[in-house]
């Protein structure tokens, strides 16, 4: 397949490596080799079991950075795939393989966009950075967040950042993520007294005690959202209790839940309201909160404008700004003051069997990235 573009060829090389999180297995070295060849200085940053790197070309402001991850989620049962998930196949212009859309295709497009841009603009203004991790699909504790801390310690601040997460819905370029909701999870344990179901007066059923509180939590209107964010959502993902026997009242119940919240709320407001509600009920409980990320928003400005203009020039589409979806590593970059957007291929097949991306979309995405560089630098 020598007639394939350099973007598709690099995407295939990356996808053929089974870099299931947090194992990079050489993906980053493939990128580093290409970036070194066009004048990038590389800092390999290893934290815990995670490989990361920071690459930079230039010393002037502004600093525009591409951000992304080389790790992928497990393939699931390989027999359910049309072809092996880590042996790329192209059928009718569609490239199949784990990570094709999330997000090795974007990584390839970033590299080839820079290769063309630097060839045509060897003395470009500003600086270009790459922040690449292998810990986005996992706990995300030794990846981007650690690299950002490292950059802060070295007085390095990203002015504008493009995260290559798959952002589009129906056509390449139809959606840019210019923000994300915050994610706040909790593990709530209600303590009761175990006993025989025939003698309920000698026991205290924690499931019965938590039921009214759960009902109230699910009916609260936390906020109404705003022009950029939908209303905050509360979802229970797990309830665990009991021994499995039908004649034993459980001694405790564990409830796992999550808030996806807008800029109308804060972590402190949510936790205070939940705990105030729980305190009104007659049960003993413990609660552990885990904040995965604060909400962030990049309003219209240089980065958003450059992305929208580039998309229109390459695809003819007027792109939509959105804050929907889950979290991304943008949540670690935005608090530094950086403008952050997410722009990548279609998200229809991410984390699914037979994950795929159109080869033309990868080529067009590389052109869009190149146009963004031209406008900003």
**Active centre residues (catalytic):** 71, 136
Distance, in Å, from the CA atom of 189 to the CA atom of 185, rounded to the nearest integer, reads: 13
Distance, in Å, from the CA atom of 12 to the CA atom of 101, rounded to the nearest integer, reads: 12
Q: Write down the number of H helices and E strands in the chain.
A: 9, 19
Residue 291 burial by CB count (10 A; 0-12/13-18/19+): exposed, middle or buried?
A: middle
Using CA atoms, how far residue 86 sits from 14, 63, 93, 105, 212, in Å, is 9, 34, 18, 14, 48
Is residue 96 a contact partner of residue 89, using CB atoms and an 8 Å limit? yes
Rg of the chain, C-alpha, whole Å: 24
Is residue 377 a contact partner of residue 123, using CB atoms and an 8 Å limit? no
Question: In 3-state terms, what secondary structure has residue 119?
Answer: helix
Distance, in Å, from the CA atom of 78 to the CA atom of 345, rounded to the nearest integer, reads: 24
């Amino acid at each position: 397949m020598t007639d394939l573009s350099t973007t598709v060829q690099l995407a295939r090389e990356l996808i053929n490596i089974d870099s299931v999180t947090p194992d990079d297995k050489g993906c980053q070295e493939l990128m580093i080799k290409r970036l070194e060849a066009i004048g990038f200085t590389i800092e390999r940053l290893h934290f815990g079991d995670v490989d990361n790197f920071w690459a930079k070309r230039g010393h002037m402001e502004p600093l525009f950075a591409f951000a992304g991850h080389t790790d992928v989620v497990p393939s699931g049962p390989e027999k359910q795939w049309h072809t092996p998930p880590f042996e790329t196949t192209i059928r009718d212009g569609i490239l199949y393989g784990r990570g094709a859309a999330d997000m090795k295709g974007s990584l390839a497009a970033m590299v080839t966009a820079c290769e063309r841009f630097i060839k045509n603009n060897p003395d470009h203004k500003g600086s270009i950075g790459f922040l690449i991790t292998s810990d986005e699909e996992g706990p995300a504790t030794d990846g981007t967040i650690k690299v950002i801390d490292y950059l802060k310690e070295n007085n390095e601040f990203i002015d504008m950042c493009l995260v290559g997460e798959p952002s589009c819905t129906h056509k390449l370029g139809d959606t840019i993520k210019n923000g994300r909701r915050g994610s706040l999870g909790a593990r709530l344990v209600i303590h009761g007294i175990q006993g025989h179901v025939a003698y309920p007066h000698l026991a205290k059923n924690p499931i019965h005690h938590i039921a009214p509180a759960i009902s109230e939590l699910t009916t609260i209107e936390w906020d109404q959202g705003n022009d950029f964010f939908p209303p905050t959502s509360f979802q229970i993902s797990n309830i665990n209790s009991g021994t499995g026997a039908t004649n034993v009242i459980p001694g405790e119940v564990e409830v796992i839940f999550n808030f996806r919240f807008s800029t109308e709320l804060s972590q402190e407001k949510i936790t205070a309201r939940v705990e105030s509600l729980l305190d009104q009920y007659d049960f003993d409980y413990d609660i552990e909160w885990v904040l995965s990320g604060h909400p962030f928003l990049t309003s219209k400005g240089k980065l958003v404008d450059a992305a929208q203009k580039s998309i229109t020039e390459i695809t003819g589409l007027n792109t939509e700004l959105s804050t929907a979806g889950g979290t991304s590593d943008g949540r670690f970059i935005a608090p530094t003051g950086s403008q952050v957007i997410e722009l990548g291929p279609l998200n229809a097949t991410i984390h699914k069997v037979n994950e795929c991306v159109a080869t033309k979309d990868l080529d067009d995405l590389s052109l869009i990235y190149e146009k963004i560089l031209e406008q900003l630098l």
